[in-house]
């Protein structure tokens, strides 16, 4: 049976395949680049945190400058000072703190997509809708259900988030710049006055009714009833970093405390932290490493998703026509083009091997030979082991016999009697010839190049056609 080659009539299919291939290649390269940059920063931060544990100096007295500490990483505990008050221009909240934050949330109808697979293997999509507090308004115009599209309501008003930092903060004799205050971890609710005059002024600025404004323990609620939220309601919370005892880890630069960096490059990795209360150096470093590890795994997962999506765009079904691609995905250049193992397992395996290779080389070139070597070994195993397993299963026995041609029976079927071939060794059994790993696959058995194709078997040139078979007097003990 001859295979027809696909013809491109006007070049549109060629352009489409090239565009899909280009899009997939860009996504794969992008995922690899993201992983390389992330792992490089991870290794640099690993070295920086190790230096911090070994080089950090305890600053016992923060009330005076110590020139001997200039350029060194220090750990100290004490109470900061700030001279200025932070004021919210919209709500009139004033607080004496290191930082001030205003956050708005909206009670909105949200859509969630779900996918289920039936018994027939077909996937079905359906959507569910929930009322939740969100960080931004939700547009209902993209909803798939018209009923919920009209049930959704826009927020009563919109309020931007706000973050303020004091400009004149000090820690004993040292200044605290705004870049260091960004790492301050800790906040508490802000108490404020909410009289009728302020209430009317806020309602006028937001262009809403005064009756919709309610004071809560953590801020302001905009809606009919804070106890029973309705679609479109808005809640606003106010928080600040109070002036209380803190623990800090930073580098000394003149009369300031700044971020501790591995080099003079402002875009390089840095290490600094401010937390509430009295916390030891080891605990702070351990907390910083855990936070960094979470970010690293987020970047790794993002890289994996982007690379897999890029692989999904690649036209593997057409690329399988090339022997090097079949060799890469299936472990054997002689595998059939109809073998669809590449659709899931092979592509995922090659993608993981590529990402592990990238990460391993990054760690190895950065001086981490143990971790880099382990990642490279896993990458090589993902690529090499399927080759050995496949080739081990394909070694044919030395005395393999070719199938013999046999005359048809009265019913037109091939003669497969147990007397001649045995019950477990039929030449045409599905167990022996139907699987992919057998020596005579279905594609090979039915191709034109086989010794006894279906076309030759049913032609008039056979030794025993149906007409000859019926008109021939066979002996009683004939083997046929």
**Per-residue pLDDT tens for 147-195?**
998 899 999 999 999 999 888 888 989 998 888 888 787 788 888 888 8
Parallel, antiparallel or unpaired: strands 174-176 and 184-185: unpaired
Q: For residue 124, with 0-12 CB atoms within 10 Å meaning exposed, 13-18 middle and 19 or more buried, which class applies?
A: exposed
Structure confidence at residue 298 (pLDDT): 94
Establish how many alpha carbons lie within 13 A of residue 418's alpha carbon, considering only the half-sphere containing its beta carbon. 2
Cα separation values, 379 from 38, 239, 326, 376, Å: 18, 48, 19, 5
Instruction: Please give the mean pLDDT across all residues of the chain.
Output: 77
Q: Is there a contact between 310 and 25 (Cβ–Cβ < 8 Å)?
A: yes
Residue 231 bridge partners (DSSP):
none
Residue 423 to residue 402: CA distance in whole angstroms? 19
CA 48 to chain centre: 27
Q: Report if pTM > 0.85.
A: no
Looking up tokens 């209430």 gives 199
Nearest CA to 114 out of 95, 127, 102, 104 is that of 127
More confident residue, 323 or 382: 382
Instruction: Kindly list the domain boundaries of the chain, sorted by start residue.
Output: 80-243, 418-471
Structure confidence at residue 475 (pLDDT): 57
Residue 71 has pLDDT above 60, yes or no: yes
* Low-confidence winner among 206-220, 281-295, 333-347 (lowest mean pLDDT): 333-347
Parallel, antiparallel or unpaired: strands 73-78 and 246-253: antiparallel
Residue 408 has pLDDT above 90, yes or no: no
Structure confidence at residue 24 (pLDDT): 80
Residue 202 has pLDDT above 50, yes or no: yes
Taking only the tens place, the pLDDT of each residue in 109-139 is: 999 988 887 777 787 888 999 999 999 999 9
Taking only the tens place, the pLDDT of each residue in 271-291 is: 888 888 888 988 988 988 998
């Amino acid at each position: 049976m001859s295979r027809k080659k696909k013809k491109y009539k006007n070049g549109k299919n060629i352009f489409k395949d090239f565009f899909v291939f280009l899009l997939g290649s860009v996504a794969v390269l992008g995922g690899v680049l993201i992983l390389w940059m992330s792992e490089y920063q991870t290794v640099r931060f690993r070295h920086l945190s190790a230096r911090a544990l070994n080089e950090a100096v305890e600053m016992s007295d923060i009330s005076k400058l110590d020139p001997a500490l200039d350029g060194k990483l220090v750990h100290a505990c004490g109470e900061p000072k700030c001279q200025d008050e932070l004021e919210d221009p919209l709500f009139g909240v004033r607080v004496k703190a290191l930082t001030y934050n205003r956050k708005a949330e909206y009670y909105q109808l949200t859509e969630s997509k779900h996918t289920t697979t039936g018994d027939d293997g077909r996937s079905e999509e359906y959507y569910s809708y929930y009322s939740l507090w969100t960080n931004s308004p939700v547009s209902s115009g993209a909803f798939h259900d018209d009923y919920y599209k009209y049930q959704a309501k826009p927020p009563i008003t919109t309020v931007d988030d706000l973050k303020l930092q004091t400009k004149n903060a000090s820690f004993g004799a040292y200044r605290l710049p705004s870049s260091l205050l960004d790492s301050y971890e800790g906040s508490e609710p802000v108490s404020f006055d909410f009289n009728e005059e302020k209430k009317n002024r806020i309602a006028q600025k937001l262009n809403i009714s005064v009756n919709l404004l309610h004071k809560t323990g953590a801020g302001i609620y905009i809606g009919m009833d804070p106890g029973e939220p309705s679609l479109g309601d808005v809640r606003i919370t106010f928080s600040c970093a109070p002036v209380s005892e803190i623990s800090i880890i930073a580098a000394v630069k003149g009369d300031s405390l700044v971020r501790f960096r591995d080099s003079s490059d402002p875009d390089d990795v840095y290490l600094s932290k401010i937390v509430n209360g009295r916390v030891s150096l080891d605990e702070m470093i351990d907390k910083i490493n855990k936070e960094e590890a979470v970010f690293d795994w987020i970047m790794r997962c993002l890289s994996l998703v982007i690379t897999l999506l890029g692989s999904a765009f690649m036209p593997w079904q057409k690329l399988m026509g090339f022997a090097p691609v079949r060799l890469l995905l299936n472990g054997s250049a002689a595998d059939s083009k109809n073998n669809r193992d590449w659709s899931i397992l092979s592509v995922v395996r090659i993608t993981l091997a590529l990402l592990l290779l990238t990460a391993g080389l990054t760690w190895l070139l950065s001086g981490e030979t143990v971790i880099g070597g382990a990642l490279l070994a896993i990458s090589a195993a993902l690529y090499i082991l399927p080759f050995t397993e496949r080739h081990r299963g394909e070694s044919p026995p030395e005395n393999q016999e070719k199938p013999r041609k046999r005359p048809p029976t009265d019913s037109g079927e091939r003669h497969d009697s147990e007397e001649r071939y045995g019950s477990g060794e039929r030449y045409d059994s599905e167990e022996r010839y139907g699987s992919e790993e057998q020596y005579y696959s279905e594609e090979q058995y039915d191709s034109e190049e086989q010794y006894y194709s279906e076309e030759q078997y049913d032609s008039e040139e056979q030794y025993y056609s149906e007409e000859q078979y019926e008109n021939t007097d066979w002996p009683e003990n004939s083997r046929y």
